[in-house]
Amino acid sequence: MVCLTNFSTTKGTLALSLPHAILGLLTYKPMSGYDVKTFFEKSIEHFWPAQLSQIYRELGTLEKRGCVNSHVEPQEGRPDKKVYNITEEGREELLHWLHESPKSLLAYARDETCLRMFFGSRVEPGEMIFQLKLLIREKQKTLQILGDIYESVKHAGYPTEELYWQLTIRKGLLIAAAEVQWAHECIAELEDIRRPRHE
């Protein structure tokens, strides 16, 4: 079996999620790089962002490794499409990855908001409160967007995936809600230590 996770390093501790995300999409139907990006934008991008240029590069790598193959589809009035198809090797590789014990369980997530709060004493409490209020507004937008996607999944025409996609979105909703709650708690604490300027 072609094993992406063992290709480049001897220990194989790399996450290598992007190629597997692409392989996963190609199990639904053959797609061009542009199609993959379009699909990403309404789903996977919310928990695994990827630039179009990165998708093209990964598709090239996957093809070299025999996980996908491609053919060019001429189109009228539009640029030709290079359509990628998953191979048997690609399917095996995807399953292998899905059955692995996820490394992400132990990995720490990078969180710039935490980093800013950690050094929060270096700026005025008012500045932190301002940024926390921005955070609340953005996370409420996220809650709205994910809520909409949650509903739209029911009519997306992928009945087998429906439950799994909804559970995925549910994680995003719970975390965004936790972040809003945290921000409110922080604001309350910081208001306490803030000295009012006019009194």
- Return residues touching a second copy (CB under 8 A): 15, 17, 20-21, 24, 27, 43-49, 94-95, 98-99, 101-123, 127, 131, 134-135, 138, 160-161, 163-165, 167-168, 170-172, 174-175, 177-179, 181-182, 185-186, 189, 193
Distance, CA of 45 to CA of 16 (rounded, Å): 15
Least distance from C-beta 102 to a second copy, angstroms? 6
DSSP state, 120?
G
Do residues 71 and 120 touch, judged by C-beta distance below 8 A? no
Backbone angles phi, psi at 72, to 5 degrees: -95, 130
Place of tokens 């025409």: 157
Least distance from C-beta 121 to a second copy, angstroms? 5
Distance, CA of 95 to CA of 127 (rounded, Å): 48
3 binds, among DNA, a second copy, none (CB under 5 to 8 A by kind): none
DSSP state, 190?
H
196 binds, among DNA, a second copy, none (CB under 5 to 8 A by kind): none
| Residue of the chain from 1, 3, 6, 9 that contacts DNA (CB under 7 A) | 9
Q: Does 53 bind DNA (CB under 7 A)?
A: yes
Do residues 135 and 176 touch, judged by C-beta distance below 8 A? no
Task: Indicate the residue among 42 and 133 with the shorter CB distance to DNA.
Answer: 42
Q: Does 80 bind DNA (CB under 7 A)?
A: yes
Per-residue contact flags (x/-) with DNA for residues 122 to 141, judged by CB under 7 A: --------------------
Q: Does 101 bind DNA (CB under 7 A)?
A: no
Q: What is the CA radius of gyration of the chain?
A: 22
Do residues 147 and 166 touch, judged by C-beta distance below 8 A? no
Show Cβ contacts of residue 139 under 8 Å, excluding neighbours closer than 6 positions.
Answer: 176, 177, 179, 180, 183
Q: Does 17 bind DNA (CB under 7 A)?
A: yes
* Positions in the binding site for DNA (CB under 7 A): 7-11, 13-18, 32-35, 38, 49-54, 56-57, 59-60, 75, 77-83, 110
